[in-house]
Amino acid sequence: MASFVLLPTSFLRYFCPSPFYPTNPKNTFHYSFHLIMSWACSKCTFLNPPIQKSTCQICLSPSIPSSSSSSSSSSSSPLKWSCKACTFSNTFDKTNCEICGTRSNSLSISSIEELGSISNEELDSSIGSVFLPLQPCKRKTQVTDDLNQLGEFRDLKTSKKAAALSGDTIPNSGLSTLKILSYNIWFREDMEMCKRMEALGDLIQQHSPDLILLQEVTPNIYGIFQQSSWWKVYSCSVSSELATERPYFCVQLSKLPVKAFSCKPFHNSVMGRELCIADIDVGAGKELRVATSHLESPCPAPPRWDQMYSKERVTQAKEALILLKDSPNVIFGGDMNWDDKLDGTFPLLDGWIDAWAELRRGENGWTYDTKANVMLSGNRTLQRRLDRFVCNLHDFKISGVDMIGLEPIPGLSYCKEKKVRNELKKLMLPVFPSDHFGLLLTICRL
């Protein structure tokens, strides 16, 4: 792998085309110009296109108004300080850089244990990507019965050939055991994206799931995956063309023959959330319908801090199960953003079971845990079973469900600045594959 020189995030976002973005000599200038004219959100750092002028596509924060060049040299111009990370000139009333968020001054902290006695109110109100919404989605339902004819999805014949070459087999007579992985992989591209995605790929190769359900895939992350060796044995629900149309999205991957991929937007979503479905041929005349989604996210923000979207989330869960209920073998897994205290019991229909609650009774199952995932240290305490597998199976039974991605990436850390008791502290924290933990479900034939 090529070595890279570490540069300030803002420099990379504004001037360096991604090495994973599909380009050719004819559009290199256009893409570079597009990056230069793009602007980075000061809240979540997402790189917005020039046409997105008023608010960030990811977190909906307002864009930073451009300063007037005619008044910049006048005697009435406010005093400014230059950011040590990206050199942007900020006014002295700003304690953080408006572009990259770097603090103007800081104090050091020797260890994260010092945070143990600090209350949540003294820490940053940020909880993570759990609370970052998408813009409304206008894409209509897409159903594909002939993948090769429409060209919307990866050629299944190519996937079968690649699988045969790699030693993996596509079953014709039916497998006795299947493994399904669900993972919210975190769209934060400024947080060691390449290393995190490499670690995720290692987990995929280690566990070798037959089906993969991913949430918060960005176009750049999609490009990284395409370059990975493990990708070649899977067919993908999202084409390269579709992958460039949205800030982030769900992806389904399958080693098994896919009869159809389809997508149904939720009618009440203001964040572009949808139900993604894959109809899988598992052999022996049996079918398996596997679905994933990223249900509406809580999004507390000023002025009321009460935009939790619980009603919308519950409605989406019910809508998904109704859409899936007529299939004899169904698995619905993904980031449900579920809060049992706020949303109540997950609305399972008759015959449906929650895999974790069924097999791991007495265990909390927190897939978002600011204590166990030390990368999130300094955030407000949040421990939730946001990610779930719910199933309705007649020809299979659930034999196992496990959490993966529980360990930090060896030798990788990052510096996080936090205000504690009115002092700015620096935390040196490990990096995990994601802010969520993944779930690996195992089913076997009856």
pTM, full prediction: 0.69
Q: Per-residue confidence at 16, pLDDT binned at 50, 70, 90?
A: very low
pLDDT score recorded for residue 54: 79
pLDDT of the residue at 98? 73
pLDDT of amino acid 147: 30
Average pLDDT on 431-446 reads: 97
Q: What is the pLDDT of residue 80?
A: 56
Residue 205, sorted as left (phi over 0), alpha (psi -120 to 50) or beta, turns out to be alpha
Please give the backbone phi and psi of residue 92, each rounded to the nearest 5 degrees, phi first: -70, -10
Using alpha carbons, list the distances in angstroms from residue 396 to 177, 254, 281.
Answer: 9, 18, 14
pLDDT for residue 44: 58
The total of other beta-carbon atoms located within 10 Å of residue 70's CB is 7
Amino acid sitting at position 431:
V
Q: If DSSP codes are grouped into helix, strand and coil, which group holds residue 214?
A: strand
More confident residue, 421 or 243: 243
Residue 323 has pLDDT above 90, yes or no: yes
Reply yes or no on whether the pLDDT at 218 is more than 80. yes
Single out the residue of 38, 33, 35 nearest to residue 51, CA to CA. Answer: 38
For the cut 60, the answer to whether the pLDDT of residue 23 exceeds it is no
Summarize the confidence of residues 165-193 as an average pLDDT.
76
Q: Note the pLDDT of residue 45.
A: 57
Mean pLDDT of 37-65: 67
Between these two residues, 339 and 29, which has the higher pLDDT value?
A: 339
pLDDT one-digit tens code per residue, 121-160 = 444 444 444 444 333 333 333 333 333 332 333 334 334 4
List pLDDT tens digits, range 54-110. 777 766 777 765 433 333 333 344 555 566 566 666 665 566 777 766 665 433 334
- Determine the pLDDT at residue 153: 36
Provide, rounded to the nearest whole percent, the portion of the chain with pLDDT above 90. 54
Query: What's the pLDDT score for residue 69?
Result: 35
Mean residue pLDDT across the chain: 76
Which CA distances in Å does 57 have to 137, 196, 309, 337, 375? 11, 23, 18, 20, 25
- The pLDDT assigned to 254 comes to 98
More confident residue, 91 or 29: 91
Burial 31-42 (b: 16+ CB within 10 A, else e): eeeebeebbbbb
